[in-house]
Structure 1
């Protein structure tokens, strides 16, 4: 029945990152490498801790009047959050149809795309619940014992946000802490793809483990907009709370609710699959402009329970999204009512799963998704058995393989950029040794020499500038499309080389900008002319170093140029505040600017000498200017 809700890609010849025939030939041998393991080996969590977390999550439901419960074991403090059965606790009607809002950048400064400086979106209702208990939560987190946050149902999102908040606190602390763990059961989705991207970049995703039974409707609810769910949402939540169908069985409420959720889940999963497969059909963009899809995305490690003593472990968020849809896809219309009712009952099946001996569960890790077979027929391995028990069709397997291949393509893109990193380093070394240092010997800084363009070496420096710009612009475009691994912007080697590139080459871009008077047509460099390659690399450093003030060393020349322009038509008194601010910045970054700005013939010094005597005599950089002048005189007399 639900096959009719599955969006068919308009172009049958999609670019898929897999070679189907070759993959089929080697599928049998590759599958043998994906052996099953114990749950502890797959998640890094002891089975006893998982059981304790479930017990705490259930206990929290019985004390819903309290913001959370605190239980202590020998090794951990377990903080559990109760669910809520009011629609207002799941969706905020005052926000968009999916109830999302921008995350609080003060509480969660890391949950963003660094280069784009775009913060994640989270469910507003869940976020408000977290904010309401944060004050009390701070009071119990002063002990040094490792913390586990847990929650079932709507308690899961609060546990997730509490975990991220504590990880943020630990990131900003100089003390070594054991990172908190988060274990959820049947949790709804919380944030969008930037949420997932940021947690993986910060290496925080590994601390989150989400348990999901095959048919549980709750992890899928937020794939549908509130207006489509509103007629039956309270009835469904009441049934979930009472652990019985109750009024949800009257008038096929459960069936209608299930169909609504899965119809939207189909659209989300199909759109995601088209993206993974590289579909460029413009019809998709046209459809998205009329029909808004759910922004929510999975993250962390997902543990899917099968009907037997197996669990399927998935860490790829794109693959998790596909499983959330395909595991509930119906094979015939006659199944609809039964599966709809089962989707409500499954929300409490974790209890029976936790009563089992968790040590006997076989954990099947789906690490090499691009090596999955395209059909499960006639195959009898632990993996194929588990995937069969999740009800995954051939189309589901194709989408899972595309998810794996898409991730592999990101890694290949990074490898390609790593090769170009050698070219970047060569160009940086040549510019430093053959241009910047030579210009300083000539008595004129490389900024002013480049701006004048009187020597062949200036022309060669411009060629190197353009070569570097091409490489870095390619990296920026891939980052904008999220075509590099999520961890890329947090890697020390790229942060270091990006900072070196910015500090060395941006002054040349500024010189070129004002040499050609682009400011007359476009406006100030910092507002209209600054390329993204410098904005991105600056944000990388500031985030990595937890800087409270911007790293402005590479843009000081732009401020000099703008002040030179202003003081031609304005009195000193009108510009004094900006001039003092510039000098303070220069003082702060003096060791980083290689003293080029303080050379006697520099653009800055020629302008600075025109400032009133009373200003120059009291300037915070006066001593540095005098020291540089003495050094320059001594060098010239040798």
Structure 2
């Protein structure tokens, strides 16, 4: 994983998936949760709330936790909102266009009880940048309030280097608070709320749908609560980032209805542990898989929405929710300025979602998306040409602009964009390779590879450790992208070598040595679970190479790859059960 100097990590405003990738890739997510666990261990039985300051290698973490007794009392018995007229500490959030707002009484009460201590802390950490403020459950509510209090006194540059990461926190304010924060993009991008679908606490104060009979019922006054910031919604199926407040509310309600059947309303109040969720997110956010889309025909925008619903475990049969999200995405696209780079990025995400769907639906054709696109027999293959062209145009521009920026400690491309570029390269470059070799050309890497691919790969490889197999990669290999975006170039060149050997062209001994080199390369990728299982589909170019190579080497030649292929062991690769 690429490492960046800590002071560079938060230099730009970040949005949605970019924020999640930033938090995970920099280690902020795991460091935050580790600090929370350490703080829980330090919490005395007589204490109701505790905070701690932890120095990490690349940041300072301030964590907040509350006792289970205090959490139970405030969440089950108090959902009252307090008007801003009674909140002098937060008057700075009021504006002419947004003169009033309300905050959860319990959160304000707890925060106010720590005011003197937090004032001293605020003065002590003025130079601690980057700064992560984190909290769990009600502790997350206090963390959000403390972050707002910090942001008010910080200049524009320092404010962009503060992140608030909450785990399972309930909503803390009404629409007025939401508007006060959301209208300041610098502040809104400082908040990432991690929510597991099995945790009912974040759904306690969500506006209730009149049709949602499974949602937890609370007093009518709580319907005013609204979310702000970015939400990272997680389930065993995956995770997705949502920034739109109405979408967040609707998905929290939908997730609640999906999991309500698995929860006993009379069970003892328990605080959800996010340890396994954090481990899962660390894998899922960076190494994004392909969601299980079963539709044979789907528009790009609809594909993106289905990916979101699949990731948080919401059934696609909830048609009204899907349609509502689609309408909101279309309306938001119309409102955004045409020159807004984030609008363009969102559009690129839609195109990537379509290509994910294309890859998934090519599998039943027994040839994979590389060969399906190379043959271009169907209308969906033609559609990919346009999406690929738009993606290439966009990322070439991103790389071009990055190279024009002053060079600063090798930080040519901000990490918030780097992982998006990596997924793009791994998904799209194989399609460019397919176009190149379908024209009868050779030596793609030397003669045909675009410079922007080289730069994206070069920037990712800075300080990147050697890829190693692990259980998470094995278990998720069926949904993975091939890590080496030039894998199919190696396959095409190996096919050419087989043809030359068969026809008696060139130096036969050198050709054989090159084929053995390709063998070693392929086995290394397979052992590291670094290739997508679609290479083993019957109609793939890789399997075509294997059949030709097998006829050349005969039965006497033995190697790791020949053993894998001739015995059919490769069939176990897709489910992660292949051991080496």
TM-score, length basis structure 2: 0.45
- Larger relative contact order (CA 8 Å, sep ≥ 6): 1
TM-score, length basis structure 1: 0.42
Larger Rg over CA atoms: 1
